[in-house]
Amino acid sequence: MTLSRRLFMGAAGATALATPALAQRGTWPDRPIRLVLGFATGGVGDLTARLIAPKIAEGLGQPIVIDNRPSAGGIVSAESVARSAPDGNTMLLLTTTNSTASAIYKSLPYDVVRDFAPIARIATFDHVLLTAANSPYKTLQDVLDAARAKPGSINIGSISVGNAQHLGAELLRSMTGADLTVVPYRSTPDLINATATGDVQIASEILAPALSQLDGGRLRALAMTSAERFPSMPNVPTATESAVPNYIVGSWNGMAAPIGTPRPIIERMNKEIVRAMAQPDIRAKLLELGVQPATSTPEEFGTFIRAEGERWAKIVQDAGIPKQ
């Protein structure tokens, strides 16, 4: 999207901070901070990080350097931060993928709860259930009724086995008891094209990358999978409202540091994140990208991370998804 490209270019200079002994003497940060991301440049999570990093850096007086380290399950990025010195110089953009990886993989080289010090949530990424613009299904209930009337007739597409979109599709199948066939695709463009052409009757995807197709009239939103309707799409009901009570699936991100990072650094970083996320221009740009701003205390974020790990582990178990 043009907006995404503009935000990416405008925020690409982001960089940042720290050192433990200095932090305890109150002189942190004294140099740039490295913020490690577990995915490539250009996606909505990357754009979000690059959008807010300069605002956080303004308050810290040091730049924040974005370090993209894409890998399956975000394992490479998380491991690199978990093994970094707890001096405030290296931080991780923790995401839903870290929670789903803990649920999907038999073993990981880190523990998402024990090896990281939570700082703050940053944003949530609402998911949406999509169908083709010319689809005969006008509501989510129509799709479920068709699946029950003719078992095996409805395919639900997602991307990347094990991520939140895929597990959301599996959760819909298990919660409704409908005979839905989950079909994973390699990428979002592949999934969107398959949905628009009717290869799959419904898709589970993050809202942000689907917005241009919704605006262009190629796709139609059946339901949001968030707890509340998305602000700029008030006419699209939630799945809970329309057909599946308590079906809530979404993605999120936030910032964390290696365990043992001094508490003053955690508190200072939390303060600057909260300040940045309160900026009206930041909030407006995030909403344009299909992203909901969100903040928390370190303790609230820690509780949330633990709850997410337990929730995704139960989804994987209930859906009978084999661990890798």
**281-291 residue pLDDT tens:** 999 999 988 89
Confidence at residue 127, expressed as pLDDT on a 0 to 100 scale: 95
pLDDT in tens, 174-215: 899 999 999 999 888 899 999 999 999 999 999 988 999 999
Confidence at residue 163, expressed as pLDDT on a 0 to 100 scale: 86
Strand 154-159 versus strand 202-206 pairing type: parallel
Question: Does pTM top 0.95 for this prediction?
Answer: no
| Banded pLDDT at 19 (limits 50, 70, 90) | very low
Residue identified by tokens 């365990």 is: 259
Whether the CB-CB separation of 263 and 83 falls below 8 Å is answered with no
Confidence at residue 26, expressed as pLDDT on a 0 to 100 scale: 58
Instruction: Return residue ranges of the chain for CATH 3.40.190.10.
Output: 126-242
Confidence at residue 320, expressed as pLDDT on a 0 to 100 scale: 80
Instruction: Return residue ranges of the chain for CATH 3.40.190.150.
Output: 2-125+251-319
Structure tokens at 63: 């730049």
Superfamily of domain 2-125+251-319 in CATH is Bordetella uptake gene, domain 1 (3.40.190.150)
Architecture of domain 126-242: 3-Layer(aba) Sandwich (3.40)
- Would the pLDDT of 139 be above 90? yes
Average pLDDT, the chain: 90
- The pLDDT of 42-62, averaged and rounded, is 93
Confidence at residue 43, expressed as pLDDT on a 0 to 100 scale: 82
- Would the pLDDT of 20 be above 60? no
Strand 64-68 versus strand 116-132 pairing type: unpaired
